[in-house]
Structure 1
Amino acid sequence: MPNRKDLLVLDTDASDKAISGVLSEIQAEVPMVVCNESYAQTKEKRRFCTARRE
Structure 2
Amino acid sequence: MLNCSTGDDGGQAGVKRVTVAEIETGRKQGSVATLRALADALGVSLDDLTE
Q: In which range does the TM-score fall when normalised by the shorter chain?
A: under 0.3
TM superposition score normalised by structure 2: 0.24
Q: Which has the higher helix share?
A: 2
TM superposition score normalised by structure 1: 0.23
User: Highest Rg: 1 or 2?
Assistant: 1
